[in-house]
Chain A
Amino acid sequence: MSGHDTGAPESIKESVADRPRHDCRDAYVAALAELAHDDHRIVGVVNDSVGSSKLDAFKKAFPDRLINVGIAEQDMVGVAAGLANGGRIPFVSAASCFLTGRALEQIKADVAYSNRNVKLCGMSPGMAYGELGPTHHSIEDIAWLRAIDKITIVVPADPIETAAAMRWAAKIDGPAFIRVSRMSVPKVYPEDYAFVPGRAVTLRDGDDVTLISNGTVLWRALVAAEQLADEGIAARVISMPTVKPLDVDAVVAAASETGGIVTAEEATTAGGLGGAVAETVVQNHPVRMKILGVPEFAPTGSAGFLLDRYGMSAEGIADAARALIS
């Protein structure tokens, strides 16, 4: 597993849960501004989502390079494809529910199939909009985009990974989707973390059971592993920031070296990270699995409340692991 370890802390002394929390949008806008400063080709494209994407400062710094097409997501993604045709590097920044739901065909045809250099940044994904309900939840985005060829899907877990994914996306010539969390999370990576697409990161080793997670749920999985360790259960925690292409080797190793795999994500249980891991496990090394996620249109509640409700509190994830290997 050392091949997948790209610099995680050797041991986690204090609980991840005690660290300060961060809104990943702040890291996103800081990275975008820095990248735009260094590369004149970079532009922002939004659907009136300047405030919700925290792009006010970007707009002041680069007034001509923030293109606001208004509340028109199909146009937004098509325009981004056209900007890329003209040599620009557009970062489309919009609430993930509308970006992926409303403009899915533009993402498929104009960006992915056309292989355009467009970066799609799904803001406030999952259940970040909490009480605004399932119309504004974006639990389906990963499953929808996983079904489309050519798009790399990245679900960063903290501000460090968010910025690293942005720097990577600006460098490559091709389509990418980056999910930018709104719900605050503690840092789980060291400051010098280098994101490698398609590579899992083993944050904690163990061979009793494996927890695979990303995004806002990863730190909860780490806390679950702390709790399991107290009981003498050694849980391997694998961060899987790239849902597509998946790190198949890391998954197969986990399946063959540990007693089972629990996946946990702020997304639907159909076709997301859990689905991707299951597809790999069942075809390579069948092992018991539990897929934690959001199986339905969620009832009213904050994102944190809903994650807990769907078994993705640290306790819930630990319970799933215990049940799997009991």
Chain B
Amino acid sequence: MTTLAPEHVTMPIFSQLPPYVPRDQRIAHLAEAARQIRIQDLKLVHYAGAGHIGGDFSAIDILATLYGAVLDVTPGTIDDPDRDRFILSKGHVAGALYTTLAAFGFLRQEELATFLKPLSALNGHPNRNKVRGVEANTGPLGHGLPIAVGHALSAKLDVSRRRTYVLTGDGELQEGSNWEAMMAASHYELDRLTVIVDRNRLQQGATTRETNDLDPLADKAAAFGFAVVEVNGHDHGELFDVLSAVPFRPGKPTFVIAHTHKGHPISFMSNNAAWHHKVPSQAQLEQALDELAKIHPKAAPA
């Protein structure tokens, strides 16, 4: 197999559109960014020979929406104390985060070619000390939500309008630390905190239902004091409308259950637990890129 090389990085750079851009144009922009991020991420995982492509693809529409239209942070304001914070709690989808950061100009695109290579800054889990734009060194599950609560508390102490978003997996919610943090979030009335759950219903080797069922998840989050909203996690319009409209209830943090599919939208990956960390072969890469090209006529070549 060819190893990941600079010529495999072919992603265009996107920017956040200004607020006056009409909604449908904004949504189309997000859809194209997400499609390009998927194309690049597929190549990243294929050529690097490792990664978590299934979880990457369930989260990319959420990441693209956050960085493309929701978060008040740009490559120029990444050190601004009053920037919005995004914490990726499911750190194993680092590939999706890196490609998203590269798509929106936070990370030099050529750096993507070093993904997982010896001494690369782009480790299998993100490191904030090596990658600008990363807010926390995550990887062990159940760490992001407490960190997000701490940041939201700091914003409240500062009487700042900055917001905190954290993306967790759904299997990850089996870690008790999340529920400790959720109790604190509602106790401290952190209504500028938004927890997004990538509800793909699959964990490493089985469904969440078979493993340790999370349902009724919405009721649980509501019982923990959150305003709960459910969205299609692959619909950029729904994601944009919900994530940019928080808080929904004054004094309450928001819990967004984003219904997703692992591996979306690739036919042979979608909703298939085997693709948690499987690497696509050359034929599978070509098929997947072909499927992504058909979503949009302006597809980039492999």
List chain A positions with a Cβ less than 8 A from chain B. 43, 64-65, 67, 69-70, 72, 74-88, 90, 105-106, 109-110, 113-115
Contacts and interface: CB of A to CB of B under 8 A. Distances in A.
Interface string B169-194: 00000001100110110011000000
B153 interface: yes
Given A43-B157, A85-B135, A114-B129, A74 B151 contact: no
Interface in B117-152: 127-129, 135-140, 142-143, 145-152
A115 B129 CA distance: 8
B155 interface: yes
B182 to A, nearest CB: 9
Contacts of B142: 74
Given A82-B152, A86-B154, A75 B137 contact: no
B130 to A, nearest CB: 11
Contact of B176 (A67, A74, A80): A74
Nearest to A113: B137
Contact of B149 (A43, A75, A115): A75
Query: Which of B148, B150, B181, B183 is most buried by chain A, counting CB atoms within 10 A of its CB?
Result: B150
A4 B36 CA distance: 60
B135 A74 contact: no
Contacts of B184: 69-70, 72, 75, 79
B154 A74 contact: no
Contacts of B152: 82
B147 A78 contact: yes
Main secondary structure of the interface of A (DSSP, over half): helix
Contact of A78 (B81, B128, B143, B164): B143
Contact of A82 (B154, B177, B183, B187): B154
Chain B interface size, under 10 / 10 to 19 / 20 to 34 / 35 or more = 35 or more
Contacts of A87: 81, 154, 158
A85 B180 contact: no
Given A78-B146, A78-B149, A85-B150, A64 B157 contact: yes
A69 B137 CA distance: 22
A74 B180 contact: yes
B136 A110 contact: yes
B180 A72 contact: yes
A84 to B, nearest CB: 8
A82 B147 contact: yes
Nearest to A69: B184
A75 B144 CA distance: 10
A69 to B, nearest CB: 5
Contacts of B137: 109-110, 113-114
Contacts of B90: none
A243 B66 CA distance: 44
B146 A83 contact: no
B234 interface: no
A87 B148 CA distance: 13
21 contacts: A70-B184, A72-B184, A74-B176, A75-B177, A75-B183, A78-B147, A78-B150, A78-B177, A78-B181, A81-B136, A81-B147, A82-B146, A82-B151, A83-B150, A85-B85, A85-B135, A86-B157, A87-B154, A106-B146, A110-B137, A114-B137
B47 to A, nearest CB: 27
A86 B183 contact: no
Interface string B66-95: 000000000000000100010100000000
B225 to A, nearest CB: 13
A309 to B, nearest CB: 37
Given A79-B149, A81-B150, A82-B150, A88 B143 contact: no
B150 to A, nearest CB: 2
Contact of B148 (A82, A90, A105, A115): A82
